[in-house]
Each structure stands twice: as structure tokens, then as C-alpha cells.
Chains A and B, each alone.
Chain A
Amino acid sequence: MEYVLGIDLGTTNSCVYYSKEDGSLELVPIDNKNLLPSVVSFRESSVLVGHNALNQLIINPQNTIYAFKRLIGRRWESSFLQNAVKNYSYKIIKHNESSVRVEVDDKLYSIEEISALILSKIRAEASKKLGEDITKAIITVPAYFNENQRKTTKDAGSIAGLDVINIINEPTAAALAYGFKENKNQHLLIYDLGGGTFDVTVLDIMNNIFEVIATVGDTFLGGEDFTNKIVTWIEQDIIEKYDNSFNLQNDPIIHQRIKSAAEILKKDLSKRSSGTIELPFLFITKDKKTINYSQEITLELFNELVEPLVDKTIDLIEQMLDYTNLYIENIDKVILVGGQTRSRIVVEKLENFFRRKISKSINPDEAVAIGAAIKGRLLFNNENDSLLLDVISQSMGIMVSGGFYEKIIDRDSVIPCSAVKTFTTIKDNQKQVDINIFQGEYLSATENTYLGTIKIKDIPPMAQGEFKVDITFLVDTEGILTVKAIDLNSDKTYELVLEGASGLTAEELKKLSENKNLINGYETGKEDLYMLLTSIKKLIPLSQKRLKGDKDNLLKLNNYKKYIALIETQKSFNQDEVLSFTENLTAIEAALKDIVNG
């Protein structure tokens, strides 16, 4: 049987499941933990991924990349991105109007490459666990992700050497995770408040068919924003208390320390009614006073800070129920997904809105990955007749004269689907027609997300309205769009090839996918090697002390030192080298530990 990984590539954490031969689902632990922090840290020539990278966040914030999923597909001018450029501790550089690069040590990385590092780690760990090279995966995305953002996620997979057989929506995956075992006809509402995005999806489950009725969301709303509310409050508090001329945001280390403390506090407050922020030696004021910051923050204060965010999610639910003609009584079950649903204020507000008790029915951190693994099973196994009918979350269309937006496929259309509309010229002898393709719901085209352009050039002189072009939109089962324009006068066909949101060209992408060394260097456990080296370097001076006078063993130790120096000077490793080095270093580490511990 071929294994398919179900990967929830989250803003803050990622999670992986797969389906075993007997149909049961199993977690792929990464670094012996259920969740892998979606954090990547660059240090000298090596890269740390996950927990090790998370540890670097405070000591090495400029080179530690986190919450990068939120940067996918943002316009440079958007206030979101401008804020991120200001607040993120790593450097974000403009690549073009709608994409960014991350700069580390004078090197630029696309978001695909950063995501690929996480995916490579996942692939390596899964391959290790299952004892074979795993290449097939299903990756989940927020339901409200647009076409470009979906493409970016797929591209990241291919850079990491994964064959991404399907991209599915996170709330839909969660519904599968819940509904698959329930096997009951019902209406589900999935409330998915993750680290970076918010989605609500309503599904109708009937005879094992999961039909998505509607989905709304906000890709600007997530747990990160909850944390930021606390951070802003603390920074304001510090300025008021100590030094109103001090700009905290200019110091990434201080900012990151506050943020990490806020993160911990937020988690505490989901269990207790108050918590304390302790930040000793936070900074030194102008008059050389060391500030140890300590502040109690109550649940009440926290709730007050984040209430507008929660209200926004409730508004979205209301809107959706409204236009789908559903009432809260029609919803049989409300399912909470995403780490931020642990906040008590979220549950309270939802219970108030739905006028019922809402219990935790699935693991909010793992449900999405479980759903993805189930989908993988459905695609390759015959024994179950469950079927997922998903929809597109945003309308798609083109810009027409006057800058208006003409929808071609409406939101919430079941996929696969297609639609054709015929368009014509508005001027005599128009020589060129640009078909600008957008995604969104706004009347004015440019307020929507721009996806791409088809140019039809060299049109022979014709009167207004004589030139006709059929524009076909086709969305496949993964929600991926292709646009075709057929010039009805000459029967020529033009096709739009969507680029990912990072503006990586097909060529660049191919190069990255082929350049196995770059990624595999990280993937094959180079970070383990790095950790081993640091550990050994600490042990060597201690061993030296212990071995004073023991000439034979000191000679051995000297050989170890030479060997380590040799490894350290080597810039790149192939897979075999990494394996043999790791093996030898592990032996050396054990030997040194024996010496040190006597």
C-alpha cells in the first residue's frame, strides 16, 4: 500500500497524519512531539526547523522565520504587509507588487522555499518512521485562500520533493475528521480559528457525502492577532511606566521576548483567570537603570482586548447563515478547530450565539491533519463510498469596461465546475484585448485579488462588438482554476497559466525542485549534526580537565578534535556523509559523556 501523508501546514504549528493499512489513522510525531512549530531558523550554514528553530526565536530573532504563511499572496501596499514589515523580527523585502522575499544573511528566500523546509522535515521524519521514501501528500489550506495562495502551497510541496496529489480546505478536512466516524446525516458548522486565518464552513452530510454548502473567512484574522493585542498593551504599559522615549519595536530581541511571554500568557489564560508576565533584565534605560518588567494580566483584561476580534468572527457567521438561508436551529453541531478556539471567550461567545453548549468534539490541533489523511485514504481505497463535494470560497471573474467586475463563477459553486461567457470589444478597431482575471466579491474589479491576464494581440480592424471572445473558467476538484479564451473570429485559443503568489516563474520552480542538495542538505538531519557538534564542543574542555595526565586518552581526544574541525570546515554534505558523520559524532558524544561523568 502506498502511504499518503495528510499535512496541516499551519501558521504556527504543522501536524501530520497518515492512514495505516487497516484504515486506522496514526500521527507522525516530529522530534517526538505531536506538533511541529512552523518555524525555520538560519544559523551560519545550517538551518534549524521546528522546535530547535523555535528556541532560536529569542536569541536569534533576525534569522528566525515564523508565521510566514501569513505573508503568502499579500500585496506590498496592503496595510497588513506594511505592519508585518515593521513588526516582524526578520527582514521582509518587496519582490514585486504581490509577493515578498525573506532576507537572511544577504540571501533572499521565497515563501515557497521556507515552507519547503518545513515540508522536507516532515517528509524526512515520515520516511524515517514508515521505513520508506514517502512522496505522496495531501496538504490543507485555509478555505479562504485564493488561487495564487493555493498554487504557492502546491509549489512548496514540489520543492520539498512531494507529489501533492490534492489540496483541500482546512475546515472541510476537519469536517471529515469529525463526520467520518460519526456516519450520521447532519448539518455541521466548522469554526476554524487558527494561528493566522479564520474560516467558517457549513456542510451537509448525507449518506456519507460531505457537501460543503458555504464557506466564509478572513485571512487577516488569527491567533497571532490575539497575541499581538497583548503585546501592544504591554509595550504601551512599558512606555508609560518607564521611558516614553524608548522605541521597543526597534529592538527585535526585546520585541520577541515580549511576544513569547504574551504567547505563554495567552495559553495560561485559557485555564486560569489571571497570569503574570515576567521579563527580567528587559532593557536598560537612558539613566542606566535595569528594568525588570513584571505585570499581572487578568482574564478580564485579555477578554476586553480581544473581544473585537471574536465579534468579527461572529459577524461573519451571521452573514453566512443569512445568505445561505440557514438558521442556527438548522445547525446540528458546531465543531471547533484551531488552537485559538481554546480561548474561553471564543467558546462563550459562540455558546451565546448558537444558544447551546458547545463541547470540544475533536482535537482542535490535529483534526485538520486527520481529515487530510482520511481524504488520502478515500482517494486510494475502494472500500468506502464517502465522497467530498467542496466549493470555491470566492467568486472569480474578469474586469469589464468601466473597471467593473463581472463574475463568471459564483462563490460556493460545487467543484468541479465551469462557466463560459462571451465578451466583445467596446471600441472600433481595438487592436488588443487584455482579459484581467480577478477573485473576490467586490463590484470594482481592482478591489479584488488579481490573478493574471490573458492578452489577445493583433486583432484585425473590426467594428465595435464584431470581435467576440469566449472566456471559459474551469475549476477542478482541488479548486485550481484554468482560464481559456477562444477568439471566435480566428478560433485561436489562449490559456492563462497561474503563477504562485510568490511570483516564482515556472523555470525558477523547476530549478528549485531539481536542486535536491539545497533542500536535502537540511532534510537529511544536518541540524542534528549541528546540535551534536555544539554538545561535543561543550564536552571537550570538561573532558580535557578530567583526562589530565592520561596521555593515551588525550591523544584520542586530540584526534576527535581534528575530526570535528574537519567537519566544521566542510561547507556542504551529501546524504551519505551526513549519515556517517552523525553516527561517528554520536559515538564520540557518548564516549565524552562517559569521561565527564567519570
Chain B
Amino acid sequence: MNISINSKNLNINITKDEVFILNTIIDKIDFISLKKITSNNFKEEELIDILKSLYEKKIVLIDDPSLLKIGSFNNNTSESSVYLYTNTNISEQIENIYKKIQEEKNYYEILGVSPKSSLKEIKFIYFKLSRRYHPDIVKKYNLPSDIKEQVDTVMLKLSNIFNILKVDSKRKEYDRTLNIFKNKLKSIKQANPHNNNIEKSNEYTLLASNEYYGGKLDKSLQLIKLALSYNPNSKKALKLKTDLDILINKNKILNNIKSINELISVGDYYEAFEQINDLIIEYGDEKRFLLKKVELLDKINSHKNKNKIISLLKDILSKDKNDIQTREILIEYLKKVDEKVLLKEQSEELLKIDPKNKTAKKYIKGKLWNMF
């Protein structure tokens, strides 16, 4: 008999008569981590028997997709569906499935089952995984918080997957979206059977656009670069690249604004002011940047920066006379620094554009009240 366990592979080379010895050994081990099972002396059916006996001891299940077909030999009863699956060291085991979830693998890949599995098989796997990761179970282990978090994420995802796959209509809908993608890939291959480079380019473009719509911009950019390396003239790829560049730029700005807002929230106005100036230098004097600048000047020293603020706001207004929002900001600011003449002027100006404007009316009315 020859059993070798190297890292995550178990090689079984045993005769039938030696099976009981294997069982005895396994009884003595708390868990075995298995990725692959290979066997020279056994037919598939015999291997199933061994696995079955192991499974009955609730020790081993397969984690190797190539062995999935073993399960399909036995789909008549739930107990005998044999899936090997690595056992109890949760922190070690969670990594694998957690990674699959992070990589947004499809539901079947996450569960480790074939897309053609019956509901019974899916349920079986879901139960198996639940027995491992359910909050009621892991509660007893006192896991470190980072691993507990991973386990919770995994269990939530598994339940969400099960909630979809267990309802026939929902599963069909999900399968449809999976197939659309697959069929697209297939049709590309059929359309350009001979030109390998164009085919590859289109394939990557499709993958890239899929990531693009899924919101994974960095991944998408990598793929589109790959696509363009195979076919630099692909119109589709170029168009996607332009869209991507715009979107990535936009996100960059959004991130910058976010960090500025964070600085403001902790009171670091000077650093925020530096950053907004950098933004204006890099992307031009867009209105939202200037308004942010006004907000900061106001926060740093409302009265000292009076002239700067008023002229900045007037600059914005000079570009678009009908910009009500900015004019309202200006009016509120003038009220705050008590610039009565300008306040009246601007309020009247605003009333011309928007006769019903409440902000403008508020101050005009106030003025009238004072007179009487």
C-alpha cells in the first residue's frame, strides 16, 4: 500500500483488501486536506466505494471539480452522492471558498458543483458547507475576528446562492445570464475561426466589457490592453478604452473629493485647501471644485476671505447667469457677512431669474420689514 499526502494531494495506491487499513488510519486523523485524489489500482466504481465509506465517517469530501462526476453516478440517494471535501480546520479551509467569492466566481464554482447538478445535490453541498460555516456552529470555536468575518461573509453568500438556486424560476433566470456570456464567447470563436489574433482580441474585449459593466475598472483596463495588444485597430476595443479612461478619471476625481470631504470632517481645512487647489490645476476650474474652495475659504476664515469668496462666486455666476444654486450660496454668504447693499442687489437679481425663489424673498422681505 502506498499513501502519500503531499501538501494538499492524497495519492492512494492500495489494494482492495487494504481499504480497512485506510479507514483505520483516517479514524486517527482529525482532518485531511485534499485537493486531488489519484488512484492507479482502482476502477472508478471501486474508488467511489472507498470514498463512500470515508464519507460515512464524515471525514472526507472532495474539493476537486474533476471528481464531480463521481457524484453524478450516485444521484439516486442523497447519502451516497460522494463529494470529497476537506475537513475541519476552518481558518485554513475558509481561504479557498472566500477567495472564490472575492473573485466573483459563478454560483456553481463557489459551491463546487456542476451547473447541471440537481437541486438535491446542491442542497446536499449547501448543507455540508452550512454544517461547517453556519454562525450557530462556528460560535463554539472562538475564531479570531478576521476569520470570523470571512466565515460570516461566506455563509451569507452561500445562503444567498442557495436561496436563488432552490427556486426553480430564479435558478433558470440565473442560468440564462450565465449562458448569455458563454454563448457570446462561443459566437466570437465561430465568427473568426482562422484569425487567431482577432479572435483573441475580441474575446478579451468581451471579457473587458463584462468587467466594465460589473464595475471592476482596473481588471477591465488590463483586459482591454491585452485585447489591443492582439489587435491595435479593433474599433470596439478602442471605444471601450476611451469610455474606461473617462470613467477612471471621473472616479479618480470622486476619490479626491472624497478625501477632501474626509479632511474637512476632521477639521484639517488647510490640507483640504491644498488638495482642492491641486485638483483645479489638474482638471481646470470646474464649478464643483470652486464651490468646494469657497466652502473651505469660508471655513478657514469667513470674514478675512470675504473678497476672495465673493469674487470666486461671481466668477462662477459670470459663466452661467441662471445658476440659482450658486447665487443662493452667495446670498446666504452675504447675509452672513452682513453686506447689505450687495445682498439686496443679488436677491433682486435672483428674483428676476426665479420670481418665486424663497431665499431671495426672505431677504428682500426682511429689508421691507426693517423699513417700516
A interface residue numbers (CB < 8 A to B): 185, 206-207, 209, 211, 378-382, 385, 387-389, 410, 413-419, 460-461, 474, 476-477, 490-491
Contacts and interface: CB of A to CB of B under 8 A. Distances in A.
B140 A382 contact: yes
Given A388-B136, A389-B134, 16 more contacts: A206-B123, A209-B130, A379-B140, A380-B140, A385-B137, A387-B131, A387-B136, A410-B163, A410-B167, A414-B159, A416-B155, A417-B159, A460-B325, A474-B156, A476-B135, A490-B261
A416 B156 contact: yes
B160 A418 contact: yes
A389 B152 CA distance: 15
Contacts of A410: 163, 167
A304 to B, nearest CB: 41
Given A380-B140, A461-B325, A477-B135, A414 B78 contact: no
Nearest to A415: B159
A418 B152 CA distance: 12
Contacts of B239: none
A491 B127 contact: no
Contacts of B362: none
Contact of B139 (A379, A460, A476): A379
Interface in B296-340: 325
B258 interface: yes
B85 interface: no
Contacts of B152: 416
A378 B135 CA distance: 12
Contact of B163 (A206, A417, A461): A417
28 contacts: A207-B79, A207-B127, A209-B127, A209-B130, A211-B127, A379-B139, A379-B140, A380-B140, A382-B140, A385-B58, A385-B131, A385-B137, A387-B131, A387-B134, A387-B136, A389-B134, A414-B159, A414-B162, A414-B163, A416-B152, A416-B159, A417-B159, A417-B160, A417-B163, A418-B156, A419-B160, A474-B156, A490-B261
Interface residues of B, number: 26
B136 A378 contact: yes
B163 A491 contact: no
B362 to A, nearest CB: 17
A380 B130 CA distance: 17
A387 B131 CA distance: 7
User: Nearest 4 pairs between A and B by C-beta?
Assistant: A413-B163, A417-B159, A209-B127, A414-B159
Contacts of B140: 379-382
A265 B316 CA distance: 85
Contacts of B131: 209, 385, 387
B78 A206 contact: yes
Contacts of A206: 78, 123-124, 127
B329 to A, nearest CB: 12
Contacts of A416: 135, 152, 155-156, 159
Contacts of A417: 156, 159-160, 163
Contacts of A207: 79, 127
A460 B79 CA distance: 59
A98 B35 CA distance: 56
Given A206-B127, A461-B325, A491-B258, A387 B137 contact: yes
Nearest to B325: A461
Contacts of A209: 127, 130-131
A498 to B, nearest CB: 19
A416 B138 CA distance: 14
Interface string B214-245: 00000000000000000000000000000000
Nearest to A460: B325
Nearest to B162: A414
Contacts of B123: 206, 211
Interface in B248-272: 258, 261
Contacts of A387: 127, 130-131, 134, 136-137
Contacts of B78: 185, 206
Nearest to A474: B156
A453 to B, nearest CB: 25
Contacts of B160: 417-419
Nearest to B152: A416
Interface string B102-139: 00000000000000000000011001001100111101
A388 B156 CA distance: 15
B75 to A, nearest CB: 15
A142 B359 CA distance: 54
A477 B137 CA distance: 11
Nearest to B288: A460
A554 to B, nearest CB: 65
Contacts of B135: 416, 476-477
Nearest to A213: B166
B247 to A, nearest CB: 14
A416 B136 CA distance: 11
Interface in B270-296: none
Nearest to A325: B168
B130 to A, nearest CB: 6
A183 to B, nearest CB: 14
B213 to A, nearest CB: 13
A176 to B, nearest CB: 12
Contacts of A474: 156
A381 B139 CA distance: 10
A578 to B, nearest CB: 38
Interface string B142-184: 0000000000100110011011001100000000000000000
A207 B79 CA distance: 8
A389 B139 contact: no
Contacts of B137: 385, 387
A266 to B, nearest CB: 39
A389 B137 CA distance: 11
A387 B132 CA distance: 10
A349 B134 CA distance: 39
Contacts of A388: 136
A379 B296 CA distance: 54
A73 to B, nearest CB: 26
A389 B163 contact: no
A559 to B, nearest CB: 58
Contacts of A389: 127, 130, 134
Contacts of A477: 134-136
Nearest to B134: A387
Contacts of B163: 410, 413-414, 417
A274 B162 CA distance: 52
A418 B78 CA distance: 28
Nearest to A489: B254
A432 to B, nearest CB: 16
Contacts of A418: 156, 160
Interface string B64-101: 00000000000000110000000000000000000000
Interface string B193-216: 000000000000000000000000
Contacts of A211: 123, 127
Nearest to B120: A206
A389 B126 CA distance: 11
Nearest to A492: B261
Contacts of B258: 491
Contacts of B130: 209, 387, 389
B191 to A, nearest CB: 34
Contacts of B58: 385
A382 B135 CA distance: 13
Contacts of B166: 414
